[in-house]
Amino acid sequence: MGKLAYAAKITHVPSMYLSEQDGPHKGCRDAAIAGHYEISRRCRALGVDTIVVFDTHWLVNSGYHINNAPHFKGIYTSNELPHFIKNLPYEYDGNTQLGQAIADAATAAGVHTRAHDATSLALEYGTLVPMRYMNEDRHFKVVSVAALLTVHNLEDSATFGQALRRAIEEEYDGTVAIFASGSLSHRFAQNGTADEYLHKVWSPFLEAFDHRVVDMWQNGEWEDFCALLPEYAEKCHGEGFMHDTAMLLGALGWDAYDGKVEILSPYFGSSGTGQINAEFPVS
């Protein structure tokens, strides 16, 4: 029935929004923004009607959750970095049919998932920042999945991704893209050093290991990467404990995935963290 047409690991750094503003950092994230525009172009060319975002800024402490509201509208200020993202207006349409199908499929697979439709839940900036550049005209419907999971197993998140693909292909009549919205290493700069690290990774070790991971993605070393993912998530401070990445790879085949990643925005440091926009071809 339906089709998973596009998949990517994407950045959502708040300095992208800062990059739009007049001042000393204007234009500093042009490459990341250009990557989002290109992802949007590719999704439109493939006929994508809905984007599902695995959002590493939506924290949950129990279960799996989908923000399945039929419509999203508001003005957002980040409680984490209110000096970076403030008074950001947004409006998007949801897709309650798809969100519920994903929740049902994941629950049937043993990963209990709730799709919240009658809700006042707002979107988090792991969804809002990329949608600002990819979906300003509300071309795509949006479904947001919590991916900052504090007491969850990466294996369950991979199972969630597998179930999501099954829901798309068996229960949905449409074309879908999925985004793992989060960084590689995610060790923020120590307080008081933010300016020094605005365009840097926190340590040479983290940067070197991030580059090794990107090499593995480009070479298709998925069996090795999936085996090291839990330790990478822990020792390299993976954003959201890398649950977004586990969901993405679960949907693509996990360690049996045979794709080779295409880099759309070169790896860069941001406030200590390692960032990238990368397409994961759907096979």
pLDDT tens digits for range 189-225: 999 998 899 999 999 999 999 999 999 999 999 999 9
Mean pLDDT (whole number) for 27-34: 94
CATH of 3-279, one of 3.40.50.300, 3.60.20.10, 1.10.260.40, 3.40.830.10: 3.40.830.10
Q: CA dist 244 to 8, 76, 161, 200, Å?
A: 11, 22, 9, 23
Which letter, b or e, does each residue of 236-254 get, where b requires 16 or more Cβ atoms within 10 Å of its Cβ? bbbbbbbbbbbbbbbbbbb
DSSP assignment, residue 239? Answer: G
Mean pLDDT (whole number) for 140-151: 98
Mean pLDDT (whole number) for 9-16: 95
Residue 142 pairs with which residues in a beta bridge? 51, 94
Per domain, the residue ranges of the chain are 3-279
CA distance 176 to 64: 20
Number of H helices, E strands in the chain: 8, 10
Checking if the pLDDT of 17 tops 90, the result is no
Checking if the pLDDT of 278 tops 90, the result is yes
Neighbouring C-alpha atoms within 13 Å toward the C-beta of 45: 7
72 contacts 120 by C-beta, under 8 angstroms: no
Q: What confidence score (pLDDT) does residue 74 get? A: 97
Checking if the pLDDT of 52 tops 90, the result is yes
pLDDT tens digits for range 111-138: 999 999 999 999 999 999 999 999 999 9
Crossing angle of helices 204-219 and 222-235, in 10° steps, is: 160
Q: What confidence score (pLDDT) does residue 243 get? A: 98
pLDDT tens digits for range 84-97: 899 999 999 999 99
Q: What confidence score (pLDDT) does residue 271 get? A: 94
Model confidence at 146, pLDDT cuts 50, 70, 90, reads very high
Q: Please state, for a pLDDT cut of 90, what percent of the chain lies above it.
A: 93
Mean pLDDT (whole number) for 230-253: 98
Checking if the pLDDT of 25 tops 90, the result is no
CA distance 193 to 205: 18
Model confidence at 18, pLDDT cuts 50, 70, 90, reads confident
Q: Please state, for a pLDDT cut of 70, what percent of the chain lies above it.
A: 100
